[in-house]
Amino acid sequence: MSSKTEPTIHDLAKKLNISASTVSRALNDNPRISQKTRDMIKAAALELGYQPNTIASNLRNRKSNTIGIVVPLINRHFFSSVISGVEDVAFAAGYNVVISQSNDEGEKEQRIVRSMFANRVDGLIISIAMKTTKFDHLQLFAGKKIPLVFFDRIVREIEADRVVVDDFNGGYKVTKHLIEQGRKRIAHLTGPLNLITYSDRKRGYKQALVDHHLEVDEELIIVNNLTRTDGLMAVQQLLKLKNRPDAIFCGNDTTALSAILHLKEIGIKVPEEIAIVGFSNEPFSEVVTPSISTIKQPGFEMGQKAAQMLIEQIETKEQTATYETVTMPTELIIRESSFLKR
Amino acid sequence: MSSKTEPTIHDLAKKLNISASTVSRALNDNPRISQKTRDMIKAAALELGYQPNTIASNLRNRKSNTIGIVVPLINRHFFSSVISGVEDVAFAAGYNVVISQSNDEGEKEQRIVRSMFANRVDGLIISIAMKTTKFDHLQLFAGKKIPLVFFDRIVREIEADRVVVDDFNGGYKVTKHLIEQGRKRIAHLTGPLNLITYSDRKRGYKQALVDHHLEVDEELIIVNNLTRTDGLMAVQQLLKLKNRPDAIFCGNDTTALSAILHLKEIGIKVPEEIAIVGFSNEPFSEVVTPSISTIKQPGFEMGQKAAQMLIEQIETKEQTATYETVTMPTELIIRESSFLKR
DNA sequence: CAATCAAATGCAATCGATTGCATTTTTCGT
DNA sequence: ACGAAAAATGCAATCGATTGCATTTGATTG
């Protein structure tokens, strides 16, 4: 059994017959305390098993040395890569990172963000949930000029630094690739269009069609939440059309996968009859048969960049009222699901 | 531009000409404050945009209402399932969850755990890093009787509640299955044996061999860190043997996958020539060709259980000196990589 | 209408670390 | 050895919310 409570600097002070201020300064290597005293205090701290209470320190300093990151789902490869990138930079700069997931639910996102505010994180990095439509929880940060960086799924209505990928170009590249493969009726399966990522990809898709003199058929564009079931249902819907598509540009790899599995099951050949392209380069997309063509987003680098921008904001006293948007390039990875050998 | 600092209960009190205590009590719905006053204070709080400062509250209450969870890697399906399970129970019970990943590095784990202690989490749920050999950071919790629950990768040396899967049985089931498929030389690829999960699986593997009168050939047992490259190298090493294995029981799905990909590439048929079984049921294992037989661990349920046990500990005043170990069942999922149709 | 008791509210200390402004101690030149 | 300057340390307030113990207000009753 150990002591009732943790030893504090006051306990240390009492034991050494000095003041708490001296202890505090010594532990923080303040040069105002002589080297000898510092050493002695540190030794005593070690001996007593003293552990600083960050909460008290944070309260006094009005700063938590912590940055928060909120993602829709931590087990999406893209998001966990971003998290690793953030941690990489943040830890090196001496910040702690608290991670949370919204499960793509607006309500949980609200709760998380408020809790992070209440815990006074020094800044927040966030990719918003699919179903988020209210932004007052983010206004909590933006309105009070607490550093905030959006990545991937940004909010246009709120001014802040942003790290995004070139979704328009990604959508364009996918579509152009499919056209070059000789496809004429290219369907597009996309997520909620209030999310700029999806609407940009769709714009790229449309632009590519137009540029290559192909008709944009709204019947071929399906909007849903891009879950595995959503992918299945979308494919079934597309197959029911009198004039079937010969390619599907899916909004993510999950739906691309479920499309492929379903098509395989009912005996439709991929890519011969219907070509499939996904988005985000989930690890499985490389290893399924056929392997899935997709767009690679530089997640780790985006995380690094977002953390750099956030820390820059945190550590710059002057509130520069200018916000920056960094756009990262995407890479089209062509695999079996869309590439016809001849 | 907003006010310099956040409004506090004192600001509210001043504005309403009442005391801070009353404000505090009103906001916490303390019945000692009349309903009328409560309503009035809450209205004012809303109007001023008051947001409670959790840090101050935590300091005073010596409690953070937060539980920490540390996993080796958040983007492993098993671990993210556990996290979701923990969140599920914790949120329902009014706790916040802070998630961190050790990247399987002992040093990072130390740092994270210390930081969580310094932030006075009410309890900790952890699966230790592969390379952790020192435990003083965990002693920080165990020694001070701060609620601690290990899951999956536990530490025998430290007494605490534990949630594990029946790894011995899992290893046994896999091996028995392979034997029933007619395999005679079953190799085993495993991780660091200081981790009980791995040594238990290996024990199960050996026991199954013995029970079925098969020889245990140490040459067929390879220990490494189970990364993708590790899997490749292990397979290459096994193929060099004069007496090759006809099955490999891999320590995780990642190495099972890399084994399959390599065997495919060099023209060795799976499962005909060499059968493969993985562990953990990563999402990709179902969709690769051939699909990977594996052991399913009930991650979400383990997370729920761990959170329940932790919260139970937190909320029970009496320090019961008894610790519980909950063992969850595993399920063998037989897929193409080990099942020979005839 | 005074006495009694309950209800409502306030005072002041507390949680543990930090820091501006003393105060004390040491050092040093003369 | 004395005073001044430098170095070392201490005092007390602060960060914002909570709470045990008053104190005040209000209601009730004889």
CA B324 to chain centre: 17
pLDDT value at position A342?
64
Q: What is the DSSP letter of B293?
A: B
Kindly report whether the peptide bond that precedes residue B298 is cis, defined as omega within 30 degrees of 0: no
- CA torsion A88-A89-A94-A100 (nearest 10°) is -70
DSSP structure string for B25-36: HHHTT-TTS-HH
Site of tokens 């062509």: A334
C-beta atoms of B51 and A2 within 8 A: no
Angle at Cα A22 formed by Cα A16 and Cα A25, nearest 5°?
Answer: 130
Phi-psi group of B209: left, alpha or beta (phi > 0 → left; psi -120 to 50 → alpha; rest → beta): alpha
* Per-residue pLDDT tens over the stretch A232-242: 999 999 999 99
Average pLDDT over every residue of A293-305: 97
Chain A 33..62 CB hits on strand D (< 7 A): 33-34, 36-37, 56, 59-60, 62
d(CA A328, CA A284): 23
Q: Given CB atoms, is B7 within the 8 Å cutoff of chain A?
A: no
Site of tokens 């909007």: A223
The CA-to-CA distance between both ends of chain A, in Å, stands at 75
B226, B251 Cβ separation under 8 angstroms: yes
Token pair for A282: 């989930």
pLDDT value at position A134?
87
* Per-residue pLDDT tens over the stretch B328-340: 999 999 999 999 8
Is pLDDT above 50 for B2?
no
d(CA B115, CA A330): 36
Of B51, B77, B84, the CB nearest to A117: B51
B contacts of A54 (beta carbons < 8 Å): 115, 118-120
B327 backbone dihedrals φ, ψ, rounded to 5°: -110, 125
Average pLDDT over every residue of A243-258: 96
For residues B175-207, b (16+ Cβ closer than 10 Å) or e, as one string?
Answer: bbbbbebebebbbbbbbbeebbbbbbbbebbbb
Task: Cite the beta strand spans of chain B per DSSP E.
Answer: 66-71, 96-101, 123-126, 148-151, 161-165, 186-190, 221-223, 247-250, 275-277, 294-296, 325-328, 331-333
Is pLDDT above 50 for B150?
yes
Residue B177 carries which side chain, given as an amino acid letter? H
Average pLDDT over every residue of A313-333: 86
* Per-residue pLDDT tens over the stretch B115-139: 999 999 999 999 999 877 789 899 9
**Residue B17, CB, strand C, below 7 Å:** yes
pLDDT value at position A130?
82
pLDDT value at position A132?
76
pLDDT value at position A3?
42
Average pLDDT over every residue of B73-93: 92
C-beta atoms of B289 and A288 within 8 A: yes
Is pLDDT above 90 for B143?
no
CA B63 to C1' D17, in angstroms, rounded, equals: 13
Site of tokens 């981790």: B195
Q: Which residue has the closest alpha carbon to C8 C1'?
A: B33
CA-nearest of B1, B23, B2 to B11 is B23
pLDDT value at position A131?
77
**Residue B27, CB, strand C, below 7 Å:** no
Using alpha carbons only, how large is chain A's radius of gyration in Å?
26
B299, B85 Cβ separation under 8 angstroms: yes
B73 backbone dihedrals φ, ψ, rounded to 5°: -145, 125
Q: Which residue has the closest alpha carbon to C15 C1'?
A: B60
Q: Given CB atoms, is B93 within the 8 Å cutoff of chain A?
A: no
CA B138 to C1' D18, in angstroms, rounded, equals: 31
C-beta atoms of B288 and A288 within 8 A: yes
Kindly report whether the peptide bond that precedes residue B329 is cis, defined as omega within 30 degrees of 0: no
- CA torsion A339-A202-A200-A284 (nearest 10°) is -40
C-beta atoms of B287 and A284 within 8 A: yes
Domains along chain B with CATH numbers: 9-52 (1.10.260), 65-164+299-328 (3.40.50.2300), 167-297+332-338 (3.40.50.2300)
CA torsion through residues A182, A188, A194, A197, sign:
negative
C-beta atoms of B74 and A59 within 8 A: no
C-beta atoms of B58 and A55 within 8 A: yes
Of A53, A54, A74, the CB nearest to B80: A74
Whole-model pTM: value is: 0.89
d(CA B185, CA B250): 14
pLDDT value at position A320?
65
B33, B25 Cβ separation under 8 angstroms: yes
A187 backbone dihedrals φ, ψ, rounded to 5°: -85, 160
A contacts of B105 (beta carbons < 8 Å): none
Average pLDDT over every residue of B61-82: 92
d(CA B156, CA B33): 51
pLDDT value at position B265?
92
Angle at Cα B316 formed by Cα B310 and Cα B319, nearest 5°?
Answer: 95
- Report, in ranges, which bases of strand C sit under 7 Å from a protein C-beta: 7-12, 14-20
* Per-residue pLDDT tens over the stretch B3-40: 457 899 999 999 999 999 999 999 999 998 999 999 99
A303, A142 Cβ separation under 8 angstroms: no
d(CA A154, CA A196): 7
* Per-residue pLDDT tens over the stretch B170-206: 999 999 999 999 999 999 999 999 999 999 999 999 9
d(CA A90, CA A304): 8
- Which residue of B lies nearest to A287 if distances are taken between CA atoms? B288
- Which residue of B lies nearest to A261 if distances are taken between CA atoms? B287
A contacts of B261 (beta carbons < 8 Å): 287
For residues A63-80, b (16+ Cβ closer than 10 Å) or e, as one string?
Answer: ebbbbbbbbbbbbbbbbb
CA B205 to C1' D14, in angstroms, rounded, equals: 63
